[in-house]
C-alpha cells in the first residue's frame, strides 16, 4: 500500500497546520489518500513534534488499523493520534438491530408473543397510540415524545414482559456524525455566503434538511435578544437545565467561524453571480473542505460539544469504541422510572432541555419490562412487542414506496399496523403502504387503526356507526382505486378489501392518557385481542398445492418496471417526460443523494429520494401480477383461498430476496459511477450529474430487446432464479411436513 508523509505548513495568522494524505481514507474521487489538513496551534516546536509523530504512524503500516489506536496513544502525542485516527471507521461495525438483540432478545411467537410494526404518515398518531399501549403516565414523563413535527427519528422496540426493566440504546458512529455535522455547516455556509443574517444562518446550521439530525438538541436554540434569554433563565432557575447564556455564546462563536470561512473562500475565489448556487458549491468544496483548517477545527469543536453532552448520563453503562465514541448504552432496574427517566436524554424533545439532548445520534432504543395500558384489568401483561420508526412522510408526488429498511421487517412481525387520521383518511401515502404490504405478500398481517375518530364530523353523520361507515367507505374506495393506479390483481384487491373490513379499528381521544373513555378502551382491547390471535394464523396455505409459471413473461415484468421507474426518476432529474406526477428536484438534493450512495456505508436514500426502494417496489408490483397469474397448479382441486395463501407466501419470500439484489445492483456495483456523479462541480454540473445518474439507472434496469442482450438476460435470470429457488424451498418444506404427518 502506498505510503505518504506529513508536512508542516503555515496556517492562519501565527498558527501552523499539518498536511498529509491518509493511507486508508478515500478522497472525493474514491481513491486512497484523502488529503488531511489540520490546525495544530501556534507553538512551532510542539507543531514540529506532532508532525514527526504523524510521520512515524504513516511510516508503520501495522498501525493503520483502528484497533491500534490505544497502542499508538502509549507511544505518540495524543493529538497526533487523534488527527490520524479521527475519521476511520471501526473495522467491524455491528448492525444496530443485531446489537440490541445481543442484550435484549425479541421474543418469538413460539413463546406466545405477537409482534407489531406501526406505519403511518408523519403526524398520523403512531406515537400517541404507543403511549396508550405502554401505559404512559403524563404526570411521570412524556414518553415517547410527541410534537406537531417529526419527533420519532430512530427505531424503537417495546417488549411487554414481567421482570426487571431493561433498556439498550444504540448510536450512530462518530464518522457518520461528523458527516452530518459537515452537512449542517454546509447549509449554514450557503446562507452566510449570500449575506443572510445570523438568525437565518443559525436556522440552517441547527436543523439538518432531513430533520433527523438537529444540532439544536446539542447546541440549544438560537435567540436574538438578551431579553429572550433572561426570560428563559427566570423560568428554569430552580431546575438544572443548561445555561442558556453559555449556549448562546457557543452558537455565536460557531456562526462567527462560518462567516470567517466565507471570508477565506471569497479571498480565494469570486463566485459567478449568474450561477450563484453552483458557484457556492465549488467555493465550499474546493476552498473550504480541502484547504481550510478553520473548517476542520470547527467540525472538531462541534463534535467535542456533542461528546460533552454524554456527561449528563449518570446511570447505566456506555460501551465505547477505541476512540471513546459510544456504541451503546445499557441499564436495568427494578423501577420503571429509573429506566424511562433516562429516555428524556436519548429520545426527548423538551425545548428547555435543548443543549443537553442526545436524540439526533440515537439510531435505536429497545426497552423491556412489564408494560401494559393504564386501563388493562388483567394481572398478566399482554404478550406484545411494539416496533416503531419514523413517519413515512407527506409528499405523495415523490413517495411511491416504503423504505427497504421498513419492508425488511415485514417477515419478522405478526401484524403490520397502518395508523391513519380518521378526519382525513386514505390520502396518498397510506395507499402506498397498503400497496407495498399487499404486493409483498403480507396482506393477512395488515391492520388499520384510525386516530382522531372523535373529530369526525358531518351533518349527515348522526351516530358512531354513521362515522364508521363514512370512513370505511373512503377506505374501500381507496383500496379499489389501487387496481387501476398500480395494476394490482383483482383478486388481491377483493381479498384486501374484505380482510380490512374485519381488521380496522377506530380510536377516539387517543391523546387522553388518564381517565380514558370507555369507547377508546373497548376498541383498543378488541385491537389487542385481534393482534394476539394473528400469531396463530397459517400464512402458508394448503400443503398440497404449488403454482406453475411461464417464466418467459418475466421480460414483461422488467419492461413495465423500467417504464414506470424511469418515468418518475427522469422527471426528478429534470428530463422531459410524458405523464409522471413527480417533480423536478433541486440540484442540491440530487447531489446529496449521490453523496449518500457514493460515500455513506449502508445508505441509499436522501430524505424522500429513495431510488432503491422505488425500484424494488415497482419490480415487486409487476412481479406480483405475474405471481398471481400462474399458468397452472399442481393441484387444481385446491381452494382459491389456499392457492392465494401460497402465492402470498411465495411473494413474501421473493420480495425479501429482491431487496438484497436491488441494493447490490444499484448501490454496490455502481459505486464508482455514483462517485463520479457526486464529484461533478461548477457550471453545468447539475446537468452532467443528472446524465450520469440516468446512465446508472439504464445499467441497473436495462431496456429489454427482441435480440439477445447480456445485461437484460442477466437481470431476468436473477429474478427467475430467485422465484425458482423459493419454489423449490417451499416444495422441500411440503415434503418435510408430509413426512412429519406420516
Which three-class secondary structure string do you get for 12-33?
Answer: CCCCEEEEEEEEEEECCCCCEE
Classified as helix, coil or strand, 64 is coil
**Cell digits for 220?**
440549544
Provide the pLDDT for residue 489. 86
Residue 294: name the closest of 654, 38, 641 by CA: 38
231 has pLDDT over 80: no
Provide the pLDDT for residue 409. 93
425 has pLDDT over 80: yes
167 has pLDDT over 60: yes
- Burial 631-641, CB ≥16 within 10 A → b, else e: eeeeeeebeee
**Residues 654/628, Cβ–Cβ less than 8 Å:** no
Of the ranges 178-182, 184-188, 364-368, the best mean pLDDT one:
364-368
94/361: higher pLDDT: 361
Q: What is the CA radius of gyration of the chain?
A: 28
Provide the pLDDT for residue 608. 87
What is the DSSP secondary-structure string of 331-381? EEESSHHHHHTTHHHHS---GGGTTT--GGGEEEEEEEE----TT--SSSP
pLDDT tens, position by position, 345-404: 998 888 888 988 999 999 999 999 999 998 998 888 999 999 998 878 754 557 889 999
Report CA 463 to chain centroid distance, whole Å: 41
**Residue 707 — very low, low, confident or very high, per pLDDT cuts 50/70/90?**
low
Angle ∠(708,711,712) on CA atoms, nearest 5: 60
What is the DSSP secondary-structure string of 256-303? HHHHHHHHHHHHH----GGGHHHHHHHHHHHHTTTT-HHHHHHHHHHH
pLDDT tens, position by position, 572-594: 999 988 777 788 998 889 999 99
414/39: higher pLDDT: 414
**Average confidence (pLDDT) over 408-415:** 93
Q: What is the pTM of this model?
A: 0.87
**Residue 597 — very low, low, confident or very high, per pLDDT cuts 50/70/90?**
very high
Residue 614: name the closest of 432, 480, 490 by CA: 432
pLDDT tens, position by position, 309-357: 998 898 999 998 877 889 999 999 999 989 998 998 998 888 888 988 9
Give the Cα separation of 63 and 464 in Å (integer): 71
Provide the pLDDT for residue 394. 52
Of the ranges 24-28, 286-290, 486-490, the best mean pLDDT one:
486-490
Beta strands in 361-493 (DSSP E): 362-369, 384-388, 415-421, 446-451
Cβ partners under 8 Å of residue 471, min gap 6: 422, 425, 450, 453, 456, 506
Provide the pLDDT for residue 397. 58
* Pair type for strands 326-333 and 317-320: antiparallel
**Residues 174/325, Cβ–Cβ less than 8 Å:** yes
The tally of CA atoms less than 13 A away on the side-chain side of residue 614 is 26
Provide the pLDDT for residue 149. 55
For the chain, domains (ranges, CATH) are 7-85 (no CATH), 109-161+370-534 (3.40.50.300), 163-361 (no CATH), 547-741 (no CATH)
| 365 CB neighbour count, 10 Å cutoff | 22
**Cell digits for 439?**
404486493
Give the Cα separation of 262 and 266 in Å (integer): 6
pLDDT tens, position by position, 650-673: 999 999 999 999 999 999 999 889
| Least trusted range by pLDDT, from 177-191, 192-206, 396-410 | 396-410
Give the Cα separation of 429 and 417 in Å (integer): 14
Beta strands in 71-111 (DSSP E): none
Provide the pLDDT for residue 284. 67
Q: To which residue does cell 456504541 refer? A: 327
Please provide the average confidence, as pLDDT, over all residues in the chain.
86
Provide the pLDDT for residue 151. 58
Beta strands in 15-90 (DSSP E): 16-26, 32-39
Provide the pLDDT for residue 71. 86
Give the Cα separation of 283 and 281 in Å (integer): 5
- Phi and psi torsions of 383, nearest 5°: -80, 80
**Average confidence (pLDDT) over 126-141:** 86
Provide the pLDDT for residue 320. 87
**Cell digits for 639?**
381452494
Amino acid at each position: 500500500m502506498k505510503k505518504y508523509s506529513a508536512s508542516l505548513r503555515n496556517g492562519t495568522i501565527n498558527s501552523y497546520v499539518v498536511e498529509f494524505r491518509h493511507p486508508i481514507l478515500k478522497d472525493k474521487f474514491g481513491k486512497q489518500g484523502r488529503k488531511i489538513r489540520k490546525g495544530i496551534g501556534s507553538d512551532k516546536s510542539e507543531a514540529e513534534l506532532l508532525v514527526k509523530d504523524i510521520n512515524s504512524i504513516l511510516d508503520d503500516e501495522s498501525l493503520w488499523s483502528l484497533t491500534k489506536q490505544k497502542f499508538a496513544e502509549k507511544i505518540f502525542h495524543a493529538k497526533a493520534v487523534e488527527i490520524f485516527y479521527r475519521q476511520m471507521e471501526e473495522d467491524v461495525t455491528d448492525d444496530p438491530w443485531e446489537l440490541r438483540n445481543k442484550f435484549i432478545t425479541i421474543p418469538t411467537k413460539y413463546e406466545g408473543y405477537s409482534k407489531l410494526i406501526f406505519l403511518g404518515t408523519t403526524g398520523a398518531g403512531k406515537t400517541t397510540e404507543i403511549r396508550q399501549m405502554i401505559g404512559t403516565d403524563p404526570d411521570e414523563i412524556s414518553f415517547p415524545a410527541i410534537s406537531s413535527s417529526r419527533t420519532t427519528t430512530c427505531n424503537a422496540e417495546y417488549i411487554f414482559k414481567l421482570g426487571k426493566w431493561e433498556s439498550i440504546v444504540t448510536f450512530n458512529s462518530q464518522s457518520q456524525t461528523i458527516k452530518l455535522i459537515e452537512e449542517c455547516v454546509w447549509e449554514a455556509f450557503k446562507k452566510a455566503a449570500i449575506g443572510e443574517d445570523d438568525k437565518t444562518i443559525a436556522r440552517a446550521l441547527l436543523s439538518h434538511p432531513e430533520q433527523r439530525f438537529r444540532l439544536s438538541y446539542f447546541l440549544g436554540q438560537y435567540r436574538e435578544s438578551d431579553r429572550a434569554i433572561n426570560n428563559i433563565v427566570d423560568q428554569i432557575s430552580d431546575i438544572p437545565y443548561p445555561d442558556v447564556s453559555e449556549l448562546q455564546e457557543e452558537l455565536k462563536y460557531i456562526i462567527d467561524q462560518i462567516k470567517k470561512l466565507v471570508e477565506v473562500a471569497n479571498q480565494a475565489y469570486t463566485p459567478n453571480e449568474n450561477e450563484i448556487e453552483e458557484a457556492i458549491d465549488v467555493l465550499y468544496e474546493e476552498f473550504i473542505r480541502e484547504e481550510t483548517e478553520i473548517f476542520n477545527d470547527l467540525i472538531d469543536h462541534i463534535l467535542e460539544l456533542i461528546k460533552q453532552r454524554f456527561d449528563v448520563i449518570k446511570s447505566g453503562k456506555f460501551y465505547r469504541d477505541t476512540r471513546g465514541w459510544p456504541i451503546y448504552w445499557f441499564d436495568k432496574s427494578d423501577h420503571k422510572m429509573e429506566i424511562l427517566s433516562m429516555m428524556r436524554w436519548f429520545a426527548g424533545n423538551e425545548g428547555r432541555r435543548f443543549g443537553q439532548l442526545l436524540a439526533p445520534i440515537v439510531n435505536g432504543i429497545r426497552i423491556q419490562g412489564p408494560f401494559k395500558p393504564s386501563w388493562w384489568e388483567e394481572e398478566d401483561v399482554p404478550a406484545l412487542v411494539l416496533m416503531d420508526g419514523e413517519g413515512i412522510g407527506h409528499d405523495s408526488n415523490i413517495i411511491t414506496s416504503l423504505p427497504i429498511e421498513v419492508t425488511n421487517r415485514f417477515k419478522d412481525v405478526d401484524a403490520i399496523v397502518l395508523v391513519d387520521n380518521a378526519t382525513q383518511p386514505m390520502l396518498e401515502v397510506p395507499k402506498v403502504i397498503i400497496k407495498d404490504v399487499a404486493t409483498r405478500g403480507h396482506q393477512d398481517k395488515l391492520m388499520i387503526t384510525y386516530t382522531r375518530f372523535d373529530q369526525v364530523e358531518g351533518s349527515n353523520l348522526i351516530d358512531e356507526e354513521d362515522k364508521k361507515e363514512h370512513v370505511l367507505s373512503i377506505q374501500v374506495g381507496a383500496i379499489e382505486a389501487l387496481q387501476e393506479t398500480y395494476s394490482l390483481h383483482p383478486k388481491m384487491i377483493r381479498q384486501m378489501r374484505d380482510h380490512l373490513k374485519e381488521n380496522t379499528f377506530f380510536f377516539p381521544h387517543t391523546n387522553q392518557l388518564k381517565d380514558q373513555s370507555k369507547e377508546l378502551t373497548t376498541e383498543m382491547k378488541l385491537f389487542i385481542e385481534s393482534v394476539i390471535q394473528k400469531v396463530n394464523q397459517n400464512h402458508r396455505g394448503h400443503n398440497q398445492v404449488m403454482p406453475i409459471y411461464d417464466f418467459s413473461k418475466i421480460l414483461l415484468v422488467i419492461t413495465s418496471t423500467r417504464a414506470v421507474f424511469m418515468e418518475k426518476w427522469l422527471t426528478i432529474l429534470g428530463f422531459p417526460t410524458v405523464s409522471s406526477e413527480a417533480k423536478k428536484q433541486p440540484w442540491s438534493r440530487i447531489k446529496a443523494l449521490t453523496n449518500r450512495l457514493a460515500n455513506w456505508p449502508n445508505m441509499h436514500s436522501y430524505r424522500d429520494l429513495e431510488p432503491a426502494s422505488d425500484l424494488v417496489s415497482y419490480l415487486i408490483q409487476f412481479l406480483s401480477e405475474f405471481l398471481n397469474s400462474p399458468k397452472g397448479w399442481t393441484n387444481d382441486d385446491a381452494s382459491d383461498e389456499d392457492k392465494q395463501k401460497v402465492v402470498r407466501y411465495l411473494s413474501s419470500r421473493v420480495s425479501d430476496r429482491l431487496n438484497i439484489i436491488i441494493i447490490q445492483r444499484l448501490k454496490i456495483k455502481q459505486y464508482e459511477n455514483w462517485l463520479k456523479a457526486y464529484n461533478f462541480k461548477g457550471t453545468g454540473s447539475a446537468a452532467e450529474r443528472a446524465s450520469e445518474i440516468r446512465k446508472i439507472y439504464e445499467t441497473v434496469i436495462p431496456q429489454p430487446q427482441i435480440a439477445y442482450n447480456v445485461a437484460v438476460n442477466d437481470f431476468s435470470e436473477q429474478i427467475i432464479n430467485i422465484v425458482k429457488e423459493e419454489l423449490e424451498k417451499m416444495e422441500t418444506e411440503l415434503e418435510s411436513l408430509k413426512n412429519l404427518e406420516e
